Structure 1
């Protein structure tokens, strides 16, 4: 198939057109399919799709969510399930079942949920012609323009293009952070004030959450929802406002509760990477529950030992933030 064929396919996506639900901002159509395709274009731009298989990965979900929040209110969540499943009706997107699950996939319906779909498929493949077209930046740019111009109001065009640029820059920044962490032998404070905060934040988060495999460094919880949302966030040990340092070794993956207690100085680590809890946790009228049981536990570190936190960063947190009495 030619590029012109896929331009026509991208410009004529079948979408819900309930005008009571979808405003002029999304041209009175559900934006799920074009947003997922924008996210897929970003994965191609990152060279993340070296084979013709698009997995329902947390990275894809995160990029989809970033686009979603540009076009819908924060209170309105969008599920990647529906476009990932229903894009197969467009003719160029094909769900690839696990061996032996072909019959089960044939009778699957989205109301069964994303977890059920994940048990049935390896991911999605594209037409071979489309896959090879998307490996070139010129084709991606053209199809990105078609999606944005066709399905979104003019006032959103610049925002969506900017989000794509941020996604690309954040990926590049994350790769630079990893490279420097593996090549620089001593601690260094990198001045990156010229990098936009959205790029820094997304790039740092990408490195930390993946390095810790979505697991909290203090309590060990690892929860990924069926639609790919994670329970952990990326936390700086020495805050960015103080250190201006996004080195992964100045970071931890922490769940929301542990992140708060760490920032409040109620937990920290020893130089031997053991959890220390503040006496303030147990002071009246607190009911700290399981938090006290973390004392003495080892830090649950990154899968790559080279990204283990700097001792000097841990020491700074213990001396400057932690309430030792």
Structure 2
């Protein structure tokens, strides 16, 4: 949970002292839980840390009416103390907090994976974690890679399809959106979030098969001569041509133009 708070602070999403236990929080928590899932017998349940952090002195677990929560199920809001928020606002504190949490509460092989997930080098003093790296596969597994990519791309787009503006995030952290690669991995693409875009599943399929692409000005390009379509106007692709895609609030996550160019060339929207 504390690792999630560091991520939210880094992305500028802890604007106030009041935090809501919503789908975004659950999604992020579940992404970290996958690291420890093999040694856990239970499914991820954010209600435990969300409620029990009240014992740490910087956190008050509240019910929906703003009163102190009497049990973990009722805790849907959290009031964070101002000094704690100030600490989270400093990059050096977040880096030290992440390193300390990972070193203290996780097993060696988990530490190595978590350092990678939060994009921190293995600290020299953490000898056990450094040794654990040697026993990890040289390449990340598909599930590890996809989880890391998704946890950066989907929140950046607020779980909203860049093509259709359809947003869906369940209260349990599940979403119908895909974190799609612009330049496909199997064809030489990378896992940086600027090679990603949030898409609903139909939009993702149409994108991967070259029925639409994205210009350098982030407008929608449609290969209208390659397909026929029918149905409700709001579901059609062709009328979207020339309209802008939905972009993340932070330019740090906007699609890289070199990735967009690759996609256009790969699918015949422009010559190489």
| Structure 2 CA distance for aligned equivalents of residues 268 and 136 of structure 1 | 38
Gaps of 5+ in 1: 1-38, 125-133, 146-160, 175-192
Q: Tell me which structure has the larger Cα radius of gyration.
A: 1
Number of residue pairs matched by the alignment: 229
1:170-219, Cα deviation, whole Å (9 max, x unpaired): 21179xxxxxxxxxxxxxxxxxx965345544443333234323322111
Cross-structure match for 1:249? 194
Cross-structure match for 1:297? 243
Equivalent of 2:159 in 214, 234, 237: 214
Gaps of 5+ in 2: 82-95, 122-136
3-state DSSP of counterpart to 1:282? coil
Cross-structure match for 2:264? 318
TM-score, normalising length from structure 2? 0.61
Cross-structure match for 2:112? 165
Q: CA deviation at 1:317?
A: 1.6
Cross-structure match for 2:46? 80
Q: Report the structure, 1 or 2, having the larger helix content.
A: 1
Equivalent of 2:140 in 196, 206, 209: 196
Q: Rate the CA distance shift 1:309–1:77 in 2: closer, same or farther, 3 A.
A: same
3-state DSSP of counterpart to 1:172? coil
Q: CA deviation at 1:247?
A: 3.6
Query: Is contact 1:87-1:93 (8 Å) kept?
Result: no
TM-score, normalising length from structure 1? 0.52
3-state DSSP of counterpart to 2:150? helix
Q: Rate the CA distance shift 1:239–1:70 in 2: closer, same or farther, 3 A.
A: farther
- CA-based RMSD of the aligned residues comes to 4.6
Question: How do residues 1-325 of structure 1 correspond to structure 2 at under 5 angstroms?
Answer: 40=2, 56=21, 57=25, 58-68=27-37, 71=40, 78-81=44-47, 83-84=48-49, 87=52, 96-97=60-61, 101-103=65-67, 105-106=68-69, 110=73, 117-118=75-76, 120-122=77-79, 135=97, 141-144=103-106, 161-172=108-119, 196-197=140-141, 200-279=145-224, 280-283=226-229, 290-292=235-237, 293-321=239-267
Query: Is contact 1:233-1:253 (8 Å) kept?
Result: yes
